[in-house]
Amino acid sequence: MVITRERDASRIVSSIARWIAGLKPAFGSKFYFEKYGVSKCIKSKLSSFKGRKFCPFCNKEFKRISSFIAHLIRVHTKDIENLVIKCNNEICREKRVSSRRTISITLKSAIKKAL
């Protein structure tokens, strides 16, 4: 998933910011970024910062959740987008490796059957 549309990117960034702050989703029962496959990777990388009002990118501490979320959205939008892209690349790499393994296993089994 590459963040292509501006609106989609801003929704992903704001939902990740709300998740880090420990708030509930703005709409529904799931956060917006959870509809993508990168959500597990993002959660694993940022779970230690969830609900702490402590910025994972610049180590700044906040008294209010609203100022923390505003800080994440205004200052660290590019950092969050880069994290999403990095997680997407890791997932794509894992899929390529697993598909190569599957192909090699099927080739080996086909060769054994032929012999």
Tens-place pLDDT, residues 67-113: 999 999 999 999 998 998 888 888 777 666 555 555 555 555 555 55
Tokens of 37: 């496959």
Overall pTM > 0.75:
no
CA distance 18 to 58: 17
pLDDT of 1 reads 47
First vs last Cα of the chain: how many Å apart? 43
Q: Which residues are CB-contacts of 103 (< 8 A; sequence separation ≥ 6)?
A: none
Q: Three-state DSSP class for 4? A: coil
pLDDT of 102 reads 56
Task: Encode pLDDT of 7-18 as tens digits.
Answer: 678 888 889 999
